[in-house]
Amino acid sequence: MTRFVVPRSLILLAVLAVMLTAPAWAGELRPFVRGSHAALVKEYAGRPLVIHFWSLTCAPCLVELPQWRDVQRRHPEMDLVLVATDSPDESAKLERTLARAGLSGVESWVFADSFAERLRFEVDKSWRGELPMTQLVGRDGKIEAVTGSVTAETLKTWLGGRGGVKP
């Protein structure tokens, strides 16, 4: 009997393709795996995108979450994606936290690789895990990383420039 082995990378690619095309994920945490960041940037190409990395153990992150809800309401033309750097084991708590912040309907992901450093390296080669960390991806595809809380002034400047949105 011949045994056929499917390469792990092919399985991950198939899972990622299903995740990005399945509307059933709306309101649920998606697994953030190798390739997820590149797929997000590609999916939202040509539109202003904010990718916000946060954690349940990060006090400034928890304070900042409701502010992202307010920013999204003021700028519906700007896409917002949230990525929790916690474990999928924390999904129930993550979902409750997002609901309390009024972000249940926002596209949300959770790190799903036991080797988090590998995911961080894919996101930004110089990122060492400091949180919160936000990537402002302009219509032109250029990424501006902000470590720490994003100020209203930084966001306004970005929206009026690379974000291409009337602030």
Asked whether residue 31 is domain-assigned, the answer is yes
Q: Is the pLDDT of residue 93 over 70?
A: yes
Q: State the pLDDT at residue 77.
A: 87
Tell whether 19 is covered by a domain.
no
Q: Is residue 6 part of a domain?
A: no
Where is pLDDT greater, at 15 or 110?
110
Determine the average pLDDT of the residues in 120-148.
96
For 60, the domain range is 26-160
pLDDT band at residue 163 under the 50/70/90 scheme: confident
pLDDT of 146 strictly over 80: yes
What CATH number does residue 134 fall under? 3.40.30.10
Residue 162 banded pLDDT, cuts 50, 70, 90? confident
Amino acid 161: pLDDT: 87
118 pLDDT higher than 50: yes
For 131, what's the count of Cα atoms within 13 Å in the CB-facing half-sphere?
22
- The verdict on residue 167 lying in a domain is no
Residue 25 has a pLDDT of 45
pLDDT, one tens digit per residue, over 10-66 is: 444 444 444 444 444 446 899 999 999 999 999 999 999 999 999 999 999 999 999
Q: Could you tell me if residue 20 is inside a domain?
A: no
Residue 124: CB atoms within 10 Å:
15
In a domain, 58, yes or no: yes
Overall domain count for the chain: 1
**Does 50 map to a domain?**
yes
